[in-house]
Amino acid sequence: MGRGRAPCCAKVGLNRGSWTPQEDMRLIAYIQKHGHTNWRALPKQAGLLRCGKSCRLRWINYLRPDLKRGNFTDEEEEAIIRLHGLLGNKWSKIAACLPGRTDNEIKNVWNTHLKKKVAQREKKKAGAGSGDAGTPATAPLSSATSSTTTHNSSGGSDSGDQCGTSREPDATDVCPLQLEDMDVSDMLVDGAPPAAQPMPSPSSSSSLTTCVGGVEELIELPVIDIEPEIWSIIDGESAVARHGGDAAAPCTGTGTAVSTSEAEEAAANDWWLENLEKELGLWGYAEEDTQAHPDLLDHYTGLSPLCALEGDPVSTYFQTGPAAAEPELLVVVEPSAVLL
């Protein structure tokens, strides 16, 4: 939306501002198919009129399949407060300890809620005059925040990737450290065996690395065979009647992390994508919307109504977060998509 300062570089002819559902679909489809090894080149190759940064941000902050949705829990908020006390404004590092949350999201929550919350606490504390051990988060806050912030804010790259390989000892080592100190260990990605504790997403996940007890873990990207359908949708061609399956079906019964049959695989892929479409507002596109996006009309007229959404665990996941949804789902792993 043309926010912030003037463009730093020539971006004439590129779209800016909010992403349209079509752009989202196109980006998802491209990343599912090719991964994102080169953000710079991605928009061109994907046919998006966006800059690479914009694509990256959109993917990381919104489209990634392993993102949690919904409000922050109290535990998460407490974790953020404490981590902020230790790390300062190192949002990416804080985010690395909160699976499914993005640095942007955490930053927003801090700036909108938690900063006030902490200020109030300290005020109370100052007023009461007694430092209660029950709120250790605030104790290191003022000092640690300022010191670490100024100290570490020499740029983003001390973090590199989230809990990346080459990192300073201070930040990422906080993850395991926090786990012991905090009562949020069940929430944080922790010493639990990586394989035994996947990201809490319905289809975890993307080609990301995440901090697991200081160990870099590859999160697997669900592969969705969407090429013919989605690309045709994206290109505005007539729809393929791909909605034969039951949207909620694929996760039933199997309960295993990896599907074994191609049919299940395809069903899982359709299912995941279908729910993503719902999340993006593409599913059951209203008439006025299809008028605004006539290229999608053909596709959506053949699909089941929006009401199918209700009761669907994955829809619930996308709308409210994984806690509300059935964790079981099919994850189809394509090795080539796992690596960054």
User: By CB under 7 A, which span of 107-115, 255-263, 269-277, 327-335 interacts with DNA?
Assistant: 107-115
Question: Would you say 22 and 280 are in contact if contact means Cβ atoms under 8 Å apart?
Answer: no
Question: Quick check: 29 and 226 in contact, CB under 8 A?
Answer: yes
Written as six digits, the tokens of 107 are: 């930053």
Instruction: Candidates 161, 170, 216, 237: give the one binding DNA (CB under 7 A).
Output: 161
169 is an interface residue for DNA by CB under 7 A: no
Q: Interface with DNA includes 2 (CB under 7 A)?
A: yes
CB of 119 to DNA, least distance (A): 13
Give the list of residues 6+ apart from residue 120 with CB closer than 8 angstroms, or none. none
Compare residues 116 and 124 and give the one whose CB is closer to DNA: 116
Locate tokens 């909010």: which residue?
Answer: 18
Residue 93 in the binding site for DNA (CB under 7 A): yes
CB of 265 to DNA, least distance (A): 28
Which residue among 62, 191, 231, 240 contacts DNA (CB under 7 A)? 62
E-strand stretches of the chain? 208-212, 215-219
Q: How far is CA 247 from CA 5, 232, 318, in A?
A: 43, 21, 14
Q: How far is the CB of 169 from DNA (least distance, A)?
A: 14
Please say which residue, 77 or 270, places its beta carbon nearer to DNA.
Answer: 77
Footprint of DNA on residues 19-58 (CB under 7 A)? 19, 37-41, 50-54, 56-58
- Rounded to whole angstroms, how far apart are CA atoms 235 and 237? 6
Q: What are phi and psi of 300, to 5 degrees?
A: -85, -20
Which residues, other chains included, contact 7 with Cβ-Cβ below 8 Å and sequence gap of 6+? none
CA separation, residue 142 to residues 88, 103, 115, 183 (Å) = 9, 21, 11, 21
Residue in 107, 117, 121, 293 binding DNA, rule: CB under 7 A? 107
Grouping H, G, I as helix, E, B as strand and the rest as coil, residue 208 is: strand
Binding flag, residue 207, DNA (CB under 7 A): no
By the rule CB under 7 A, 146 interacts with DNA: no
Cβ within 8 Å of residue 307, ≥6 positions away: none
State the Cα angle at 80 between 78 and 86, rounded to 5°.
Answer: 110
| 10 near DNA, judged by CB under 7 A | no
Which CB, 36 or 243, lies closer to DNA?
36
Nearest-approach distance from CB 63 to DNA, in angstroms: 8
| Nearest-5° Cα angle at 276, 339 to 103 | 60
Give 7 or 255: the residue with its C-beta nearer to DNA: 7
**Shortest distance in whole angstroms from residue 157 CB to DNA:** 3
Q: Nearer Cβ to DNA, position 48 or 296?
A: 48
Euclidean distance between CA atoms 289 and 222, whole angstroms: 29
CA dist 16 and 55 (Å) reads: 11
Told to check if 13 binds DNA by CB under 7 A, we report no
In the bound state with DNA, the residue whose beta carbon lies nearer, of 16 and 33, is 16
Binding mask 241-280 for DNA (x = CB under 7 A): ----------------------------------------
Of 160, 184, 163, residue with least CA distance to 174: 163
Please tell me whether residue 6 binds DNA under the rule CB under 7 A: yes
Whole-number minimum distance, CB 266 to DNA, in Å?
29
Q: What is the rounded distance in angstroms from the CA atom of residue 248 to the CA atom of residue 316?
A: 11
Say whether residue 115 binds DNA (CB under 7 A): no
Q: Which of 13, 126, 134, 166 contacts DNA by CB under 7 A? A: 166
Which residue ranges make up the site for DNA (CB under 7 A)? 1-9, 11, 15-19, 37-41, 50-54, 56-58, 61-62, 89-93, 103-105, 107-109, 111-113, 149, 153-162, 166, 340
